[in-house]
Amino acid sequence: MSSAITDFGQLALSTPILRALEEAGYETPSPIQAAGIPVILEGHDLLGQAQTGTGKTAAFALPLLERLELSNKQAQVLVLTPTRELAIQVAEAFQAYARHLPGLHVLPIYGGQSMAIQLKQLRRGVHVVIGTPGRIMDHLRRQTLDLSALRSLVLDEADEMLRMGFLEDVEWILEHTPPQRQVALFSATMPDAIRKVARRHLHQPREIKIESRTSTVAAIKQKYWQVGGLHKLDALTRILEVEDFDAAIVFVRTKTASVELAEKLEARGFASAALNGDMSQALRERTIEQLKNGRHDIVVATDVVARGLDVKRITHVFNYDIPYDTEAYVHRIGRTGRAGREGTAILFVSTRETRMLRAIERATRQPIERMRLPSRDDISNRRVERFKQQILDTLENETLDFFHPIIEQLQREHAVDASHIAAALAFQLQKERPLQLLEQHPPRESRPEPRREKSLGATAAPRLRRHPEIEMVRYRIEVGRKHEVAVKDIVGAIANEAEIEARYIGHIKLYHDHSTVDLPDGMPEETFQHLRKVRVRQHPLRISRAGEYTRKKHHKHGKAMLSQHG
CATH code at 291? 3.40.50.300
Tell me, yes or no, whether 33 and 153 share the same domain. Answer: yes
Tell me, yes or no, whether 490 and 411 share the same domain. Answer: no
Tell me, yes or no, whether 176 and 284 share the same domain. Answer: no
Residue 234 lies in a domain: yes
Query: Is residue 505 a contact partner of residue 467, using CB atoms and an 8 Å limit?
Result: no
CA–CA gap between residue 256 and residue 263 (Å, rounded)? 11
Examine the fold and report which residue of 179, 209, 239 is the final residue of a domain before the chain moves on.
209
CA–CA gap between residue 474 and residue 43 (Å, rounded)? 51
Residue 230 lies in a domain: yes
Query: Ramachandran region of residue 55, left (φ > 0), alpha (ψ -120 to 50) or beta?
Result: left
Please write down the HEC assignment for all residues of 274-285.
EECCCCCHHHHH
Minimal CA–CA distance to 373: which of 232, 225, 245, 223? 225
Tell me, yes or no, whether 405 and 485 share the same domain. Answer: no
Tell me, yes or no, whether 401 and 471 share the same domain. Answer: no
pLDDT at residue number 107: 95
Residue 195 lies in a domain: yes
Residue 557 lies in a domain: no
Tell me, yes or no, whether 26 and 161 share the same domain. Answer: yes
Query: pTM of the entire structure?
Result: 0.59
| pLDDT values of the chain reduced to their tens digit, one per residue, 566 residues | 445 777 888 898 999 999 988 877 787 888 999 999 999 999 999 999 988 778 899 999 999 999 999 999 999 999 999 988 889 889 989 998 999 999 999 999 998 788 888 999 999 999 999 999 999 999 999 999 999 999 999 999 999 899 889 999 999 999 999 999 999 999 989 999 999 999 999 999 999 998 766 666 777 899 999 886 567 888 898 899 888 899 999 999 888 889 999 999 998 889 999 998 888 888 988 999 999 999 999 999 988 777 668 888 999 999 999 988 888 888 889 888 766 678 999 999 988 788 889 889 988 888 899 988 887 777 777 777 777 887 888 888 888 888 888 888 888 888 888 888 888 887 877 766 677 665 443 333 333 333 333 333 333 333 334 444 456 789 999 999 888 888 888 988 887 776 676 667 888 988 888 999 988 876 777 778 888 888 888 888 999 987 655 444 444 444 443 344 44
pLDDT at residue number 216: 61
Local structure of 563: helix, strand or coil: helix
Tell me, yes or no, whether 21 and 156 share the same domain. Answer: yes
DSSP string, 229-296: SB-HHHHHHHHHHHS--SEEEEE-SSHHHHHHHHHHHHHTT--EEEE-TTS-HHHHHHHHHHHHTTS-
Residue 437 lies in a domain: no
Residue 6 lies in a domain: yes
Tell me, yes or no, whether 47 and 196 share the same domain. Answer: yes
Distances (CA, A) of 191 to 164, 201, 204, 207, 210: 14, 16, 19, 15, 16
Tell me, yes or no, whether 110 and 154 share the same domain. Answer: yes
Range(s) of the domain holding residue 385? 376-430
Tell me, yes or no, whether 197 and 52 share the same domain. Answer: yes
Tell me, yes or no, whether 38 and 179 share the same domain. Answer: yes
B/e letters for 521-537, b = 16+ CB within 10 Å, e = fewer, are ebbeeebeeebeebbbe
> What CATH number is given to the structural domain containing 545?
3.30.70
Long-range contacts of 524-528 (CB under 8 A, 24+ apart): 524/231, 524/232, 527/498, 527/499
pLDDT at residue number 105: 94
Examine the fold and report which residue of 352, 370, 388 is the final residue of a domain before the chain moves on.
370
Residue 565 lies in a domain: no
Distances (CA, A) of 159 to 39, 47, 132, 193: 22, 12, 14, 9
Residue 564 lies in a domain: no
CA–CA gap between residue 149 and residue 69 (Å, rounded)? 10
Tell me, yes or no, whether 248 and 293 share the same domain. Answer: yes
End-to-end CA distance of the chain: 70
Q: How many domains does the chain have?
A: 4
CB atoms within 10 A of CB 174: 18
